[in-house]
Structures are given as structure tokens and as C-alpha cells.
Amino acid sequence: MKKICFVSVLCLAVMANLYAQSPDAFTWDLRLEKKTSGIPLDFNQTIEKLEVAVIPPDTPPDTANRSLARDEDFTIKVKPQANTYCYIIQYGPDRKVTLYYDAQINAGTEKAFEPVLTGSAGIDTFYIIMSSKRETKLENVIKAYRRSPNVRQVNSNVYYEALAIQKADEPLGEPPQRFTISGGTSRGTPANVPSDNPPSGTARYSGRGRYVRTISVKH
């Protein structure tokens, strides 16, 4: 009898783990905000770093929501609802990679990152890769990067692997199953996603086992 009970408990535990790691249960939030004020940034468009010290109060809302003043920094926040592998990679106009994170984030834990833009004028692109499974090929090129961070080819290998994951996962671009950044409506959201809207300015993604979200900052 004890053996039967043990087997039943073990089966339930395995099923619960499979559900937690299934694409339908993989939900996570992404938020980009101004570091000092906490005001959310609209990352659906390229964010621009302006030359002004303070953004004028009469700046049109759509411009202000995707602009940073000259001395203003920003924060990237991610929060998964299940244990998730997270990789955050910055690729600058000097073709150099900066690695911010490459480990697992536990369910319900919010991680905040404060990027530093490269010195060369141009566009910095941030690749945020969230996956229910470990990305072993990416981790291998990251290991080589850690050994030789100043080698151009090693930087390129990390960048091209991030692009390869993006192309394989989202051939049509923006993930189709997500809450819009305004929090007003949703597209293709699975029934098991919590009905409550994420905080204003936060994008919630669900329905896949992996996402690649890019954020571009022009400076």
C-alpha cells in the first residue's frame, strides 16, 4: 500500500513539473523604466537618448515615453512565473558584446539590470532571451566569451547565436501572444494566463517555451 501511495505521489510530482515547464505555463513580464523616476519606457520603438539635460514638459507624450535625457539611465526588469533561463546580451555599434545575465531565475523573482550604453555613438541592441529550457549552444559561446571577452570573433559568435535563436523562434518578428504594453488589450492570450493586467507599462508574454525580445537604444 505504501509503495502504491509513493508511486502516485511521484507521478503527481512529475506531472506538476512538466506542466510548470510547458509552453502554456510559461509566462513572464518585461518592464523598462527610467532609473530615477521609475516612469515606464515604451520599448516597442527605438528609445532615443537626447542631448538635453531635462526633457521639456511640452514634449509630445509619444516622444517622451521613448526618450531619455542626456544624463538619464534606465532599468530592465524581468519577472517569470516559472523557473526560467534568462540571457541578456548587449550588442553595441562598436560590435562588442556585453553580457548582463546568463542563469536561471526562480519563479516569482524579479531581476533588475542597469545597462551602460557603449561610448561609440549609434544604436545599442539588447537581446533578452527567456527560455523554459537551457540554451546549451548559447551557453557554450558565452563560455568562450568569458575566456576571451576582447576577441572580435568571440563577440560575433555570441551575437550571431542570439540572432539564430531569434530567427528560429520568431520568424515574423514580435511575439504574437502577449499583452500590449498599454495593458489595455491582449492578443492570443491562453486561457490559463492570470486575468489581471500587469502594471502599466509592463508587457506580459505567454504561450511559448522561449522568447527573444529586443530593445534598441539610439544615442
C-alpha to C-alpha distance for 101 and 111, rounded to whole angstroms: 10
Greater model confidence, 32 or 25: 32
Q: What is the pLDDT of residues 36-82, one digit of tens each?
A: 999 999 998 899 999 999 999 999 998 999 999 999 999 999 999 99
Q: What is the pLDDT of residues 88-124, one digit of tens each?
A: 999 999 999 999 999 999 999 999 999 999 988 999 9
**R_g (Cα) of the chain, nearest Å:** 19
pLDDT band (50, 70, 90) for residue 4: low
Q: Which cell goes with 130?
A: 527567456
pLDDT band (50, 70, 90) for residue 170: low
Query: Residue written as cell 576571451?
Result: 148
pLDDT of residue 200: 81
Greater model confidence, 194 or 89: 89
The helix (H) or strand (E) run that includes residue 10 is helix 2-21
Provide mean pLDDT across the span 24-34: 86
**DSSP string for 104-170:** EE-TT--EEE-----SSSSEEEEEEEEESS--HHHHHHHHHHHH-TT-HHHHHHHHHHHHHHHHHH-
